[in-house]
Amino acid sequence: MRFVGQAFEVPVELTPQAICTLNAAKLEDLFQAAHHRIFLHGGSRGQKIEVVGFRMTVTRPIETLPAFRERQGTLRTPETAPVVLPDGSAARATVCAASALEIGTPVAGPALIEGYSSTTYVPPGWQAARDPEDNLILTRAAQ
């Protein structure tokens, strides 16, 4: 919220109890108090105030964290394809589906690992492997 004409906003926190009985006068009181806490002064009573934005957060406890699994891709076996690396050089890269990777079995770069919603580039000198939670872990390959 802010006074009309101000260029900055003052956050006004509302408790769930306050929302249930909120009216314009109570909202003005809460804004005046918040403004005074920040600036040690406030506008005069009745000065126009505007609500700039309203944010609400709702939380809900969950028993267990849901497991997110990679969807099956259309590419079942790794292939190789010509690619142009970021330095401009040409190379052959392994191209495979993230869902087809065996857990813990690394794929050496250069590689493109196609997931359901993204493709991960594994640079030369690096390797990628799926962990038991379906995360794709990239590490520098042993030299």
DSSP codes joined into one string, the chain:
-EETT-SS-------HHHHHT--HHHHHHHHHHHHHHHHS--PPTT--EE------------SSPPPP-PPPPS--S-EEEEEE-TTS-EEEEEEEEGGGSPBT--EESSEEEE-SS-EEEE-TTEEEEE-TTS-EEEEEPP-
From CA 20, how far away is CA 123, in angstroms rounded? Answer: 56
Q: How long is the chain?
A: 143
- Residue-wise pLDDT for 51-81, tens only, equals 998 887 878 888 887 766 666 655 566 788 8
Burial class (CB in 10 A: 0-12, 13-18, 19+), 2: middle
- Residue-wise pLDDT for 83-141, tens only, equals 888 888 899 999 998 888 888 999 999 999 988 788 899 999 999 999 988 889 999 98
Phi-psi region of 98 (alpha: psi -120 to 50; beta: other; left: phi over 0): alpha
Q: What is the pLDDT of residue 87?
A: 86
Q: For residue 122, give the amino acid letter.
A: V
